[in-house]
Amino acid sequence: MIFKGTENQTLEFKILNYQYPESEDEFDGNWLKIHIKVNATDGSWEATYPALLAQELKKMLEWLYDFHQGRLEKDDLFDSMEQAIFLQSVSQPEVEPYHFQILLDTPFLPPFQKKEGSKYIFDIVLDKVEFKKMLNALEKEYKRFPYRDGLDEDLEDEYEEDEDYNFEKEELNDFEDDDDLEDYR
């Protein structure tokens, strides 16, 4: 999937595979190899790193969903065990455009910024349709590489009971192609 940033910048986020696809260990078997490709105003670069566990990818999707629903505050942060990729809310979520940042740390830093502890900030500003399309793409990534050994049943039950979530999921699936998006606008 491609995150479209300000000033025509792009950040491609792709899951290549599980880091240890043959592992039967629940922890090791759920690490995901993430590949990013960035085209920014100050340069372009690519990097690959096992940055997220499959369950963290799901939590990233949930964070974005909560941001979209206005359940997060300004400056709320998504982070992960490896602390290589962060998401941070910038705008009040219920107000368009949706503005958040992707913060990249050490394994994903550009070659010109390899200082330990620094972060590269990538601004994302999307309208409602673009945001839903991005959520749909990330959900497809999660379905390709789900948490192995089952999902957290309590969390699944919580979402099945949330009518807003089920409506949003159905609505997201409606945007299968650009014609559908244009009709929605």
For every residue of the chain, DSSP letters joined together read -EEEBGGG-EEEEEEEEESSTT---TTGGGEEEEEEEEEETTEEEEEEEEEEEHHHHHHHHHHHHHHHTT-S-TT-EE--TT-SEEEEE-S-TTSSSEEEEEEE-GGG--TT---TT--EEEEEEE-HHHHHHHHHHHHHHHHHSPPTT---HHHHHHHHH-HHHHHHHHHHHT-SSHHHHHHH-
The pLDDT of residue 87 is: 95
Instruction: List the CATH number of the domain containing 153.
Output: 2.30.31
Residues of the chain where predicted confidence (pLDDT) is lower than 50: 150-159, 162, 164-175, 178, 180-185
Which structural domain range is residue 72 located in? 2-184
The pLDDT of residue 68 is: 86
The pLDDT of residue 150 is: 47
The pLDDT of residue 93 is: 56
The pLDDT of residue 94 is: 63
How many domains are there within the chain?
1
The per-residue pLDDT for range 101-145, each reduced to its tens digit, is 999 999 999 998 877 778 999 999 888 899 999 999 999 999 999
The pLDDT of residue 107 is: 94
C-alpha distances in Å from residue 76, one per residue of 47, 89, 100, 143: 26, 6, 10, 25
The pLDDT of residue 89 is: 93
